[in-house]
Chain A
Amino acid sequence: MIEPITDFVSRFNTRISLDQRLILRKKNHYFLIDDNLKRSVRKGFFYAGTYLGKTKNGKFFPSFSLLRLIAEQDANQIAVDEKTEWLFICGRDVFKRGIKKVKGSKRKGDYTLVLNQQGECLGFGKILRDLNEKIKNGVTIQNISDIGDFLRREKKD
């Protein structure tokens, strides 16, 4: 039942351990609860515990809580400067010069978390060109999802 989640997590070259007993699925949405909530949860809930993400047309869309859980592991991640942080949460891609630190994969095609200087997770993206490549600048991480989405959702509501 949790394959879409574990498959997604593996794209960051890491794993998280999830207790299947504590994962709830409501239609295509996944939630993580604890034993205490498990006793309280009833049929027909709308939201429960920690939202992990949803599947749509066979694709998994992670929540920001799941990205934070991944960030606690040894996952692929880059840290960006303050200006890039701002641009990233506005939905923009990451330019090479905005990257301050890289941990884990530098390989084109892999997923990487995008963190700010405080180590907080801002979202994730796809590495567009090997991070080892000697280029001065240019887009290197394609923004797939960023926390600015909360604002975009508020506007949509």
Chain B
Amino acid sequence: MACEGPVKETALVFYWQPAYLRLMSDKKFFVSRYEKLGWKYRNVNLKQAIRINTMNSKEAEVVKRLQSHGIKLDKIPFLQSGYRVSWSEFSVGATSEYLMGLYSIQEAAAQIPVILFTELTDKTVLDACAAPGGKTVQLADLMQNTGAIIALDTKKQRLTALSNHLERCRVSNTIVYHMDARRSSRLNMKFDKILLDAPCSGNFATDKHWFRKRTINDVKRNAKLQKEILAESAKILKDNGEIVYATCSLEPEENEFNIDWAIKNLNLQIEKIDCYGEKAQTNIFGKQLDSSIENCRRIWPQKTQGFFVCKLIKCECK
């Protein structure tokens, strides 16, 4: 297992969770881990964000139309077509522009992964964990509905939401399957790009009951699932193909540790990305990780929710 390391106190915390830690509230436990990673816990109040679907309309026109309804928008500097809603009298999810698919409601950090792919036009793209489809629509938008997106998810009900999203936003290049991403080689296809927006433990910024709900066991379970999906994705990626891996978890087991494992076991290497967020750390809880891990980005909740993102390239070598 990738996360195995020297048996230090910190490693014990992760693996055996000694009794003294079980007595600690989960909030204290997680917050103390964030502090070890150099971030001091504070609560955040996120503003809603939208992304203009430029395949359906000109960005400036949509902004003008929304402003004419009295909606105040601020451009998000680190995104392509992302805006914060600084004021609106009514829900931005109830305008005719929204219902016509001219924009999507998409949290700011969640708009980052898709823009990290290079050249998407005419490509064959796998969206391995796709529902409810915020990023599938963004992919289709950047592809201008060319090529093909194969979108998978295991939850049938979420597939209905994904399908509605595709219909509303006029996406026409996507095929959706009710499929476990760990079985995606059954599709018998090879992909130029894979978006792995992994199922994860989430973070407190978007879920006010997060600390009450989550335990380190959830984190471990998710980390294992993520590794399995990563391994399957690496198999069906073309040589020199790109995987963008993202989670909205703050826990290193689901992020840096998993990516360290992936580059050591899956013929993948990390490509440097230039985006919002800070360099990921290479020494976490006493475990030394590959130095290229610093090319991943960790985003602590502040202007956005918490997030982790990185780009992996499949080497031609083996």
> Which A positions have Cβ atoms within 8 angstroms of B?
32-34, 36-37, 40-42, 44-51, 63-65, 68, 85-86, 89, 116, 120, 122, 147-148, 150-151, 153-154, 157
Contacts and interface: CB of A to CB of B under 8 A. Distances in A.
8 contacts: A36-B148, A45-B177, A46-B163, A47-B159, A116-B96, A120-B100, A150-B164, A151-B94
A148 B93 CA distance: 10
- Chain B interface, DSSP helix/strand/loop, else mixed: mixed
Given A65-B167, A68-B170, A122-B96, A154 B176 contact: no
Interface residues of B, number: 30
B121 interface: no
Nearest to B160: A157
A45 B172 CA distance: 14
Contacts of B160: 153, 157
Interface of B: 93-94, 96, 99-100, 124, 147-148, 150, 157, 159-164, 166-168, 170, 172-178, 187-189
Contacts of A122: 96
Contacts of A37: 148, 173, 175
A148 B150 CA distance: 28
A40 B93 contact: no
A51 B162 CA distance: 12
A37 B175 CA distance: 8
Nearest to A157: B161
Given A45-B177, A47-B174, A157-B160, A64 B96 contact: no
Contacts of A42: 175, 177, 187-188
Given A47-B162, A151-B99, 15 more contacts: A37-B175, A44-B178, A46-B177, A46-B178, A47-B159, A47-B174, A48-B174, A49-B172, A49-B173, A49-B175, A50-B172, A51-B163, A150-B99, A150-B164, A157-B160
Contacts of B161: 154, 157
B97 to A, nearest CB: 9
B150 A154 contact: no
A40 B96 contact: no
Contacts of A120: 96, 100
- 6 nearest A-B pairs in the assembled complex, by CB-CB distance: A47-B176, A147-B99, A46-B176, A47-B163, A50-B172, A48-B175
A22 to B, nearest CB: 11
Given A46-B163, A64-B168, A157-B160, A147 B148 contact: no
A153 B164 contact: yes
